[in-house]
Structure 1
């Protein structure tokens, strides 16, 4: 772990290796305020620190924004009246108790309606979690097909799985398997498309190299704006 001071903040980050020949230092601030810095293996710690300090103002702002999000995101109680997200829109939660009903979740008339036999916050949470995962599987498959039309470097449709992650929206395995976070289905479609395209670019460029970002910019010129939009709401989608 390396650290430096910016204003009244002591900023600590984890250094990760990058492939040889890549000079760019990549800085990532996660919603939980962890900071990861991928740097060339040949660079010494002082060089990496100097590069990160140049982005000190941006890092400080990211940390402040994520902390503000966390302060406003109250823990879910899974009761009627709460707001929950789906495809970037807010829906009011309505919990209905019916001893004879089928336990289910329905999206209708601006509400997420959860019906269960006996009211229980844990059961409401479980039903919603299962509903989000089912919707995510369906939505992600459709958006993957749409994005593959732009990803001309992909020869065949990669396999897709759903996995709840706290610090990643998606990942791409060395074997070309895409994994997406079901929480992502709470974000707008363009954010979903960005994450899918990001992972598809890894099928061509396995590291965050200059060529990787060049490819991503070709297929989604607005990716930085979309990423910023997603990052700004991450606390609401993941923590809530």
Structure 2
């Protein structure tokens, strides 16, 4: 089983004023009657509802928050107008462990090419300025940091995962749709982009995969186990979902 970057969903929509607002209905693990509504910075609207809830009831709950959703979308769209795809030039903002760092590209023909985290900046030294080379060096740096960080966090989370008898093998792999996965034989695979997220988000994904060693599907027993080892995991998951668009590009 895996932790998707975007949850499996059903697309629904409603009209508010002169706008047709589309939202994704996803399954809410905890079987409570409440519908949780979240508007993400990339303008995705997510309604988390119990699996057994009728579509009409979900739609009604979302419509009641129509004005709030509309205002959130308006504010985030204004922000997106100033957001462009990364060009890998000095002055850009890049994430590492949940914090933003300014990118500083240094052209130094005589220096070894590489990345350093210094005084709140990500300094990338290149022989000649090239966006492709800066991106390549940053990608390699993130993968190296991910390998080191994920190994440490896995060891820390294993102290809580008392059902795991042996340290599972760990693999780092860039994935388009998943933060992490657990194979049937217990190998854990994690997405290097995850190292850009806060530590608690990394811990959440690792614990999710460790729970799959005990429970191979998303059963009630699985969610009960998640709740025992990370009581506030739903809030942490929401935080990670909200960051997805800015830490995966």
1:193 alignment counterpart: 203
Shift of the 70–166 alpha-carbon distance from structure 1 to 2, 3 Å rule, reads farther
State the TM-score, normalizing by the size of structure 1. Answer: 0.78
In the TM superposition, what whole-angstrom CA distance separates every residue of 1:76-127 from its partner, at most 9, and x where no partner exists? 1111111111111111111111111111101111111100111100000000
Shift of the 55–138 alpha-carbon distance from structure 1 to 2, 3 Å rule, reads farther
1:216 alignment counterpart: 226
Contact 1:183 1:237 in 2 (8 A): yes
In the alignment, is residue 180 of structure 1 matched against residue 190 of structure 2?
Answer: yes
Whose RCO is larger (CA < 8 A, sep 6+)? Answer: 2
Shift of the 230–3 alpha-carbon distance from structure 1 to 2, 3 Å rule, reads closer
Contact 2:23 2:44 in 1 (8 A): no
Q: CA RMSD in A?
A: 3.7
- Corresponding residue SS for 1:74: coil
In the alignment, is residue 150 of structure 1 matched against residue 160 of structure 2?
Answer: yes
1:161 alignment counterpart: 171
Separation in 2, partners of 1:91, 1:108: 10
Structural mapping, 1:25-36, within 5 Å: none
How many residue pairs were aligned? 230
From 86, 93, 96, the equivalent of 1:83 is 93
CA displacement at 1:194 relative to structure 2: 0.7
1:132 alignment counterpart: 142
CA displacement at 1:158 relative to structure 2: 1.1
CA displacement at 1:15 relative to structure 2: 9.9
Separation in 2, partners of 1:173, 1:51: 37
CA displacement at 1:159 relative to structure 2: 1.1
Task: List 4+ stretches of structure 1 deviating above 3 A.
Answer: 1-16, 29-35, 47-58, 63-73
